[in-house]
Amino acid sequence: MKKIVLLLLLLFSNACATQYNIYTGKEELIFMSDEEEINIGKSLSKEVESKFKVSEDFLLQSRINEIGKKIVEFCDRKSILYYFKVLDKDEKNAFALPGGYVYVFKGLLEEVENDDELAYVLAHEISHIVARHSIDLLKKNLSFNILLVLAKAGAPDQE
């Protein structure tokens, strides 16, 4: 049990500081640094780009990048760089990865009627990054796994 407590202390040692979250209006524990989040995002982006082809259409890439960069000028999280890419698939979706990576499928771009609608989509995805939603999900999953380990460690052996 002592080993488990030490492990928990090590896992949460990064969460010693707090940061004000504009979306919840509360001070929240910082689970990982921007640098750690960026590294996770970079790794995940390589995975995404190995599974989906990034569009080679220069005009589409320029359009999404220009609109995305304008939105970032007004966002509340400027401590990271943002990357905007079009994936060459007819799916009608968009998503964000930790650390500033935003992807839009070509099929969604064909559905939006103007740049204002595209800006709405990009702003929505950027808000996930600003609010650290994927990091919060990681925190919740880790907390759940820790509870499972503790429950299993405290359960009597059944033989």
d(CA 155, CA 151) in angstroms, rounded, equals 6
pLDDT in tens, 54-102: 999 999 999 999 999 999 999 888 889 999 999 999 999 999 999 999 9
Catalytic residue among 35, 117, 125, 159: 125
> Among the residues of 12-159, which ranges form H helices?
34-51, 58-72, 106-111, 115-130, 133-154
Mean pLDDT across the chain, nearest whole number? 81
d(CA 51, CA 53) in angstroms, rounded, equals 7
Is a pLDDT exceeding 80 seen at residue 41?
Answer: yes
Mark whether 27 is an active-site residue: no
Rounded alpha-carbon distances, angstroms, from residue 86 to 43, 71, 96, 110, 127: 18, 17, 12, 12, 18
pLDDT in tens, 13-31: 544 566 666 666 777 666 6
Can you state the angle between helices 115-130 and 133-154, rounded to 10 degrees? 40
pTM of the model: 0.73
Q: Are the C-beta atoms of 100 and 135 separated by less than 8 Å? A: no
pLDDT at residue 21, rounded to an integer? 64
Q: Is 38 helix (H, G, I), strand (E, B) or coil?
A: helix
